[in-house]
């Protein structure tokens, strides 16, 4: 068993939009080789929390620590280059490009504009095998030459995830990757995430409770910006508080 390392740590995060509180004193940690799931009703503030981790939004108060370094002052882009990679709740693939090119974007990202200007947007053999390896993981390999906007909803979700994976994350933040997948696709994705979490820690926002219970090492429950419960799958399943607030008492 590899040593447990805190990859991501939030402490005392507060955030308001006007007078709506979307994060109230949130503290949590994501540990290596763990999948930490965040569940909560619509509008609880889950996506906002991912944005504060990724750096798109700044918290009003509190500290975000990534790989043992306080990153509050770092821009979103700097955090990406440190390996903090997110996927979006709404698939945000580049519709006019092919599936292959979408992944290639993730492979080709560089900091320097000049380097990008002087290199052709073409994959060498190792890049293209890496792209296909990534597509393979999500069983998208036959769709490489398809224009992304013509994909089915489920395939778009998978491409969204594939782009994040192709960034070689040190920590992966996923915003409802299961939304809109059918049963078969969901089970496949569960298996995939099971294997991925051995390599990189995952912070997963998800409504699909079957997936969460199958995957999570730890679950936190967010309600109106507040973490009302946190712990193992068993603990969350049994929690009265959670059942009332979120699960509707029928689990």
Ligand X SMILES: Nc1ncnc2c1ncn2[C@@H]1O[C@H](COP(=O)(O)OP(=O)(O)OP(=O)(O)O)[C@@H](O)[C@H]1O
Residues that bind ligand X (CB under 6 A): 17, 20, 22, 40, 42-48, 89
- Output the smallest distance, CB 44 to Mg ion, in A: 8
Binding of Mg ion by 48 (CB under 5 A): no
Stretch that binds other proteins, among 19-27, 92-100, 176-184, 218-226 (CB under 8 A): 92-100
* Tokens 């009302």 belong to residue: 228
* Closer residue to ligand X, CB minimum distance, 44 or 143: 44
Site of tokens 């089970």: 187
- Stretch 58-117 residues interacting with Mg ion (CB under 5 A): 89
DSSP per residue, 132-180: HHHHHHTT-GGGTTSBGGGS-HHHHHHHHHHHHHHT--SEEEEE-TTTT
d(CA 143, CA 22): 39
User: Token pair for residue 71?
Assistant: 């990153």
The answer to whether residue 109 forms part of the interface with other proteins (CB under 8 A) is: yes
Nearer to other proteins, 77 or 241 (CB): 77
- Window of 60-68, 76-84, 200-208, 240-248 that interacts with other proteins by CB under 8 A: 76-84
Distance of closest approach, residue 200 Cβ to other proteins, in angstroms: 16
Instruction: Select the residue interacting with Mg ion from 10, 34, 35, 47 (CB under 5 A).
Output: 47
Identify which of 236, 209, 238 has the alpha carbon closest to the alpha carbon of residue 221.
236
Min CB(69)–other proteins separation in Å: 17
244 three-class SS: helix
Interface with other proteins, residue 163, by CB under 8 A: yes
- Residue 17, binding choice from ligand X, other proteins, Mg ion, none, Cβ under 5 to 8 Å by partner class: ligand X
- Which of 21, 63, 67, 97 binds other proteins (CB under 8 A)? It is 97
Dihedrals phi, psi of 69, to nearest 5 degrees: -130, 135
CB 79, CB 68: distance < 8 Å: no
Decide if residue 105 touches other proteins (CB under 8 A).
yes
Q: What are the backbone dihedrals phi and psi of residue 228, each rounded to the nearest 5 degrees, phi first? A: -95, -15
Q: Is 70 exposed, middle or buried (0-12, 13-18, 19+ CB in 10 A)?
A: exposed
Residue 111 touching other proteins (CB under 8 A): yes
Question: Nearer to other proteins by C-beta: 100 or 246?
Answer: 100
* Residue 96 binding other proteins, by CB under 8 A: yes
Helix or strand run (H / E) with residue 240: helix 240-242
- H/E stretch holding 15 reads strand 6-17
**Footprint on this chain of other proteins (rule: CB under 8 A):** 54, 56, 76-77, 80-81, 85-86, 88, 92-97, 101, 104-106, 108-111, 113, 115-121, 163-164, 167
């Amino acid at each position: 068993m590899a040593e447990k390392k805190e990859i991501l740590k939030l402490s005392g995060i507060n955030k308001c939009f006007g007078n709506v509180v979307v994060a109230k004193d949130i503290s949590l940690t994501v540990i290596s080789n763990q999948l930490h799931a965040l569940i909560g009703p619509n509008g609880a503030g889950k996506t906002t929390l991912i944005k504060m981790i990724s750096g798109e939004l700044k918290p009003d108060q509190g500290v975000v620590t990534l790989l043992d370094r306080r990153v509050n002052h770092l821009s979103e882009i700097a955090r990406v280059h440190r390996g903090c990679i997110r996927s979006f709740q709404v698939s945000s693939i580049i519709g006019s490009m092919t599936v292959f090119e979408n992944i290639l974007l993730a492979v080709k990202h560089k900091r320097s504009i000049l380097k990008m200007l002087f290199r052709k947007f073409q994959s060498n053999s190792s890049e293209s095998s890496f792209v296909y390896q990534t597509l393979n993981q999500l069983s998208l390999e036959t769709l490489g030459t398809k224009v992304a906007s013509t994909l089915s909803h489920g395939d778009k979700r998978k491409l969204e995830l594939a782009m994040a994976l192709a960034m070689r994350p040190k920590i992966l933040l996923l915003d409802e990757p299961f939304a809109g997948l059918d049963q078969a696709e969901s089970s496949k994705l569960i298996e995939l995430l099971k294997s991925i979490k051995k390599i990189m820690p995952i912070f997963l926002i998800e409504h699909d409770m079957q997936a969460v219970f199958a995957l999570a090492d730890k679950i936190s429950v967010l309600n109106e910006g507040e973490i009302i419960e946190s712990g193992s799958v068993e603990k969350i399943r049994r929690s009265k508080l959670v059942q009332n607030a979120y699960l509707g008492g029928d689990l």
